[in-house]
Amino acid sequence: MSGYQALILSGELVKLLFVFSFGACVGSLTNVLVYRMPRGLSVVTPPSRCPKCRTRLGWRENVPIIGWIALRGRCRHCGVRISIEYPLVELIGALLFALPFALWFTLPQLAIAGFETRWLGVDWAALAPEWAGAGRGLVHMWPVMLVQLVLLGCLLGATIIDARTFMIPLVLTWIPAASAGVIYPLTAFWHARAMGDRPWRFADGWTWAIATPAPEQWNWICGSIGGVLGLGISLLLLRLGLIRRSFHDYEQWERQALIDQGVDPDAQESGDESQAVSTQDGWRWVWAIVIVLACGIVGGVAGPSLGWIPAGGVAAGLVVGPMLAATLWRIGRTPERADDASEESPAAMWLAYPHARRETLRELSFLGMPALLGFVGWTVVGGALGGQSTESPHGAPLWLVVFSGVCLGYLVGGGIVWAVRILGTLAFGREAMGMGDVHLMAGVGACLGWIDPVLAFFLAAFVALYLVLVGTIAAGQGRRAMPFGPALAVATVLVMLGKPWIEAGLNAWLGKTSPETMIDLP
């Protein structure tokens, strides 16, 4: 290794370590959100404290991962055990930030410096998206990376909360959508000025990090912006009481149903932060992770003997590993804890609501305004500005193209889930998907563009089947219902990290000989 390469390597590792540490801090914040948000508590006050002795934690105790290790998993003041869930979530947050950063920025820079980035039969530097390459690097593209890190952090919190409560706090879906709607256009505006173009004039040859309409396709630009504007008006009408939200009487129906069952509806769930995951279950998760990693190593070693590349063997091992861990988890359950698996799902009452079809039809009144303004934007405004012809004499400025791409992604991401929700509920008579899933994929679409949430939605069906299989093995019986948010979040991360492979697979399936680098709107 030359001195130049050593300098480059040290610099890239420092940046990667910073992102890892930042992700661990986000994981620490996620621990707070996971406990407080479902209970309606403030995420700002009071500061973190021991759930038993109520002593406020100092900065040393709050250091992610290291703080728990230094305390040996116990409160420094009263000695109560601290759940291992906390460092595990912090570690997941750190890896969730560090892995895409390494794939998109660290490895491509090391490849340019002459380092070998092909391991296990795969050139990992080639997984970097187009917007992160072409010599631009982190210096120019950090705002795009920031938006996607915000998305990953919110996906982590939404996944854990949804897995526990069958509820996704909508603020965790609005934050990434709002960050994309503000940061992307401002970054495009700044880039246009930096390149010497007037920000209000279209700069030929521009592309962006997410799929957008072509600058001359005014109907797509105006239609997508009009649709989002219509959503805003519908929300205003909802707030003013001019239209009624769906499932507005559910709380009253649930209260009466609980009374009929002899259950006190005013009984509040007790507990504290230390009871989120028991120490025993926490260590079970640690051993499960160790088993999964061991299976991945075994798969990587055995894969070449089957004619696979080592990375393929690792992937197969990581797929089999959770099923093996679930089997051992089930065997290790005590009879008392095994009985817990037979409890009804938290969504059982929600599924029993008898008016799901009526309330879903009510949502069509909410969708009327977005549909109307989207149509007006497409036909009237877009038509007046040049329609969809690529021969239009004038194109939209870059910032407006990017903003329309955010709007289009928001509408498509949320719309595909909302359509399944409405059709599934009308077909089966009970809520097919929650509104939290709709908002979640709308936020994904705003951050990643309209293509990625479509891919993630269909991939999520297979992820959900796999999660059901693992859960059934661990519990010994199937669940009546399961949250779909975790499957959507996992599928979104897979699309973010492995989109080149997904595109290659789709191209092979469709019989294309070369990958499509861009999908144009019709």
Cβ–Cβ < 8 Å for 353, 432: no
Q: How confident is the model at residue 185 (pLDDT cuts 50, 70, 90)?
A: very high
List the domain boundaries for the chain.
3-119, 260-267+281-348
Dihedral pair phi/psi, residue 120, rounded to 5°: 60, 25
Q: Which is more confidently placed, 248 or 469?
A: 469
Per-residue pLDDT at 274 exceeds 50:
no
Provide φ and ψ at 393, rounded to 5°. Answer: -70, -20
| Tally of CA atoms within 13 A in the half-sphere of 213 that contains its CB | 30
* Mean pLDDT comparison of 41-45, 117-121, 188-192, highest-scoring range: 117-121
Q: Which residue has the higher pLDDT, 487 or 206?
A: 487
pLDDT computed for residue 197 by the predictor: 57
Weakest-pLDDT range from 332-346, 369-383, 421-435, 472-486: 332-346
240-256: average pLDDT: 85
pLDDT confidence of 403, banded at 50, 70, 90? Answer: very high
> Per residue in 160-183, pLDDT tens?
999 988 899 999 999 999 999 999
Q: What is the pLDDT of residue 375?
A: 95
From 62-71, 96-105, 178-187, 433-442, the region with the lowest mean pLDDT: 62-71
| pLDDT of 337 over the 70 cut | no
Residue 267: pLDDT band (50, 70, 90) is low
More confident residue, 58 or 318: 318
Split at pLDDT 50, 70, 90, the class of 471 is: confident
Residue of 132, 153, 152 whose CA lies nearest to 143: 132
**CA proximity to 167, closest of 431, 452, 472, 359:** 431
* pLDDT, the chain, mean: 84
- 3-state percent helix, strand, coil for the chain, nearest multiple of 5: 70, 0, 30
What's the confidence (pLDDT) of residue 392? 53
Q: Is the pLDDT of residue 190 over 90?
A: no
Query: Mean per-residue pLDDT for 451-473?
Result: 93
Between 69 and 334, residue with greater pLDDT? 69
CA nearest to 199, candidates 44, 403, 384? 403
Q: What is the C-alpha to C-alpha distance for residues 214 and 204, in angstroms, rounded to an integer?
A: 11
CA-nearest of 149, 215, 170, 131 to 37 is 170
Whether 342 shows a pLDDT value over 50: the answer reads no
Q: Nearest 5°: phi and psi at 149?
A: -70, -40
| Residue 44: CB atoms within 10 Å | 8
DSSP letter string over 455-467?
HHHHHHHHHHHHH
Rounded Cα–Cα distance for residues 302 and 350 (Å):
46
Question: Which pLDDT value is given to residue 98?
Answer: 96
Q: Give the mean pLDDT of 63-89.
A: 86
What distance in Å separates the CA atoms of residue 445 and residue 289, rounded to the nearest whole number? 31
Please state which of the ranges 221-225, 241-245, 258-262 shows the lowest mean pLDDT: 258-262
3-state DSSP assignment of residue 346: coil
What is the percentage of the chain residues whose pLDDT exceeds 90?
43
Phi, psi of 244 (to 5 degrees): -105, 135
Q: Say what the pLDDT of residue 207 is.
A: 66
Q: Measure the CA–CA gap between 276 and 269, rounded to whole angstroms.
A: 12
For residue 220, the model assigns a pLDDT of 93
pTM of the model: 0.89
Amino acid 472 reads T
Alpha carbon distance 77, 90 (integer Å): 23
Q: Per-residue pLDDT for 443 more than 90?
A: yes
265-278 mean pLDDT: 50
Question: What is the enclosing helix (H) or strand (E) of 338?
Answer: helix 335-340
pLDDT at 203 over 50: no
Please give the pLDDT value at position 257: 82
Cα Rg of the chain, angstroms: 25
pLDDT tens for each residue of 215-229: 888 999 999 999 999
* Stretch among 3-17, 106-120, 193-207, 275-289 having the lowest mean pLDDT: 193-207
Amino acid type, 499:
K
Identify the band that residue 514 occupies on the pLDDT scale cut at 50, 70 and 90: very low
Structure letter (DSSP) for residue 492: H
φ, ψ for residue 76 (rounded to 5)? -70, -20
Q: pLDDT digit string (tens) for 135-149?
A: 456 777 889 999 999
In sign, the C-alpha dihedral spanning 249, 254, 255, 260 is: positive
Q: CA-based angle 27:415:188, to the nearest 5?
A: 65
**235 Cβ partners below 8 Å, 6+ apart?**
none
Measure the CA angle with vertex 489, ends 484 and 490; round to 5°: 100
